[in-house]
Amino acid sequence: MDQHYILCGLGRVGERVLQHLHATGGRIVVIDNRCTKDDARLGGAELVRGDCRHKETFAEADLAGAKGVLIVTSEDLINIQTALMVRHLNPQVRIVVRMFNPNLLARMGAEVGNVFGLSASALSAPLFAMLARTGEALGAFRLEAGERRQIAEFTVADDSPLVGRTLADVGCAHEAQVVAHVPVGQTFLSADQTRQTFLSADQSGQTGMSAPQEMLRFGPDVDMAAPLAVGDRVVLCGEPKRVAPVVAEGENESLPELLWAGTVKRLGRMLRRGIAMIDWPVKVCTAILVGVILISVLVFHFGMKNDTLIDAFYRTISLMATGADMRGDQLEPGAWQKAFISILRLMGTALIAAFTAIFTNYLIRANLGSALEVRRIPDSGHIIVVGLGNIGYRVVEELVHQEESVVVIEHLPTNAFIATARRQGAAVIIGDATIREVLLQANAAHARAVVAATSHDLVNVEIALLVRELNPTQRVVVRMNDTNLAESLRKTAKIRLALSVPELAAPAFLAGLFGDRVRSIFLAEGQLLAVADVTVQEDEHILLENPLGELGRMFRFTPVHRAGPNRHAKSMQAEDKLAAGDRLTVIVCLEDLQKLSLLQR
């Protein structure tokens, strides 16, 4: 029997992973304890109904003949139990596990080798961050040296400065590699259409259907001398800071630049915010205390001989706030000033005590840090992240790493990530982002982008719609857990960047099946592409003897990075030849990945 893939769990992540697995053209067996054989999500895959923690279930799924196992249920304990049992039953099979904490598997040691742990939040956060920066992102990956690379697509808009420029010129100017090109007038499949095609093909008895080649000029087929025209679609790969400007130029999108208010305005904003946060009892008590002091100063100034305003103020404070001598010997017997001084001493004692108690209670309860945060909020050009959960914090981390100015809105003051986010340089506002005033405080209407990253889908939708009311052209990135709801928002509510976590994370789970050399898999214009590493060995004569341009044509790949044994970047000109020890990172069609895999064996 042909080798097959086993998928454990058909939840939201599992369903999206299954749709990507159909594109590999292989046989797929799904293990789930709730799914039925007539479930439309299967799309032609075989179903073994049962608990994935039981040996009998895997025996029915033919674990011995499996090429790889994906364990993607929503419970970490179930996933880790299943992974350990599979490793015991089959020591050789590749295992990809969904984990909230993927480092847990690595800490178990060599006993669970060839097990690849992935976190959905860690996989999706970089894409959310890049969508906020550029508005377009197909995928993201890190090179061996830790450098981040982004894969983005854009459509050349009317009046774009890229119109008429060649692909080679655009790539060279922005130090990015052109991965694919779809000239205007040619049809292509969107990501959603492609997935539906896979499902339809499987239900009709076909397998492994991929987009026709004429729809996408990829790698060596790209005519780098071709001038760009309005409507052309281009896929690029490069550093995020290099890709963002070219995507903005291609889409002819005008984004607000980072703008900070002047010092006086920022301090004034902070004072207004601080005063607005003070409780009414504090304000009333303070007003009474100040009023009594002013009246007393005037009475002493006009009612006492030789008392200047300074002397009157000094006498007032001495009587009210200290136990100073009331100096009755300086006044005539029965003078009205004695009565006033006595009353002032009594009122001072009561007012000072009340003010101290009320103000101390306010300081204990108040969060004055948010008032100080106001001065750190730019007037425009910043990125707002709403929700500081597991995904929200990782998005902030990515944006700060990319030197973006970040403002966070978090409704829970006890959130454990707040202190860390502030230490990293992000301004944090404690408040409910579904309230218009909170978004105005964060200058959401003039921000570069707003990322709604709370864990509640409806809250994120409400935030997105409220931001659009403030600025109809605002870029809003919406995190969704429900993939179908995200698709509906894109089609009907015109929220183009409503994306689900399973949708973003699924390609990486598929990439994990192909070994450590595959860094990512993404869908571009209906074609599944893989980011893979090729390490050149001394006995691999084909790689050593042919120039890089010829290798790209032979194996149909696009090189995106080349490094020597010391990890230093090296030239990637078409006439360059590889040397033993070089590590080449390439983007290759999934069906062509097998050629590289055979070469590296």
Helical spans, DSSP H, in 366-408: 369-373, 390-401
**Mean pLDDT, all residues of the chain:** 82
Q: Which residue has the tokens 């032609």?
A: 44
CATH code given to domain 120-133+258-275+366-496: 3.40.50.720
314-326 pLDDT, tens per residue? 888 888 887 776 6
Q: Average pLDDT for residues 5-21, to the nearest whole number?
A: 90
* Residue whose tokens read 């009320």: 358
Determine the Cα–Cα distance for residues 548 and 574; give it in Å rounded to an integer. 5
Which residues are within 8 A (CB) of 547 and not within 5 positions of it... i.e. 6 or more apart?
Answer: 574, 575, 576, 577
Q: Which of 139-148, 253-262, 282-291, 591-600 has the highest mean pLDDT?
A: 282-291
- Spatial separation of the C-alpha atoms in residues 568 and 354, rounded to whole Å: 68
pLDDT at 201 over 80: no
**For position 253, what pLDDT does the model report?**
66
Please identify which residue in the block is written with the tokens 């690849």: 116
Is a pLDDT exceeding 70 seen at residue 2?
A: no
Look at residue 597 in the predicted model and tell me its pLDDT.
Answer: 65
Question: How is domain 4-118 classified at the architecture level of CATH?
Answer: 3-Layer(aba) Sandwich (3.40)
3-state secondary structure 460-481: HHHHHHHHHHHCCCCCEEEEEC
Which run of H or of E encompasses 20?
A: helix 12-21
Q: Are 434 and 459 in contact (CB under 8 A)?
A: yes
Residue with tokens 């914090």: 393
Q: Rg of the chain's alpha carbons, rounded to an integer?
A: 33
> Where do the domains of the chain lie?
4-118, 120-133+258-275+366-496, 136-250+506-599, 279-346
d(CA 367, CA 363): 8
What are the helix and strand counts (H, E) for the chain?
Answer: 22, 21
Residue 452 per-residue DSSP state = E
Over residues 27-55, the pLDDT tens digits come to: 999 999 999 999 999 988 999 999 999 99
Q: Cβ–Cβ contacts within 10 Å for residue 367, how many?
A: 11
Per-residue pLDDT band at 71 (split at 50, 70, 90): very high
The DSSP symbol for 569 reads B
Res. 194: pLDDT tops 80: no
Burial class (CB in 10 A: 0-12, 13-18, 19+), 292: middle
Does the fold of domain 136-250+506-599 match that of domain 120-133+258-275+366-496?
no
**Contacts by 484-490, CB closer than 8 A, 24 or more apart:** 485/457, 487/192, 489/461, 489/464
Q: Which helix (H) or strand (E) holds 92?
A: none
- Please, are residues 572 and 562 in contact by the beta-carbon 8 Å criterion? yes
Determine the distance from the C-alpha atom of residue 479 to the mean position of all C-alpha atoms in its chain, rounded to a whole number.
9
| 261 alpha-carbon distance from chain centroid | 27
CA angle, residues 251, 253, 257, in degrees to nearest 5: 145
H/E stretch holding 136 reads none
pLDDT tens-digit readout, 237-271: 988 888 878 887 776 666 677 777 666 776 776 67
- The separation between the first and the last C-alpha atoms of the chain, rounded to the nearest angstrom, is 23
Which strands, in side-by-side order, build the sheet including 27-32?
Answer: 46-49, 27-32, 4-8, 66-71, 94-98, 115-118
Range of lowest pLDDT (356-360, 397-401, 477-481): 356-360
Q: 382: part of which helix (H) or strand (E)? A: none
How sure is the predictor about 373, in pLDDT bands with cuts at 50, 70 and 90?
low
Q: Which residues of 144-165 are buried (b: 16+ CB within 10 A; e: fewer)?
A: eeeebbbbbbbbbeeebebbee
**136-250+506-599 under CATH 3.40.50.2300, yes or no:** no
**Mean pLDDT (whole number) for 349-353:** 87
Give the residue among 57, 28, 60 at the shortest CA–CA distance from 45. 28
Whole-number Å distance between alpha carbons of 489 and 477: 11
